[in-house]
Amino acid sequence: MEALDGNAIAGPLYERFGREMTTATGACAHCGARAQIAVLRIYLRAPGTVARCPSCDNVVIVLVEVRGTARAYLDAFKLDEPPVTSA
């Protein structure tokens, strides 16, 4: 399966957080590598969307839709600035 870059999740992240997130930077909780969301490796064919660290290949972000609501798990990607969630 071929990976896309982090720009593939720009729309869902914008829906969830109400702002452009692909330029946000953070660190992988597994290996400590720092990156922008735009350079994460994205896989769309999982149950939900999975973003992997470009350095260690561990899962750092998972996006799913539950009953029409976008959910984002970012615990493994420590953002420099926590996102402000939209209401």
| pLDDT at 29 exceeding the cut of 70 | yes
Q: For 59-68, what is each residue's pLDDT tens digit? A: 999 999 888 8
Domain ranges of the chain: 4-79
**Taking a C-beta distance cutoff of 8 angstroms, is the pair 76, 31 a contact?**
no
- Per residue in 31-43, pLDDT tens? 999 999 999 999 9
Contacts of 79 (CB under 8 A, 6+ apart): 24, 25, 26
**Pairing state of beta strands 77-79 and 69-73?**
unpaired
What is the mean pLDDT of the segment spanning 70-76? 89
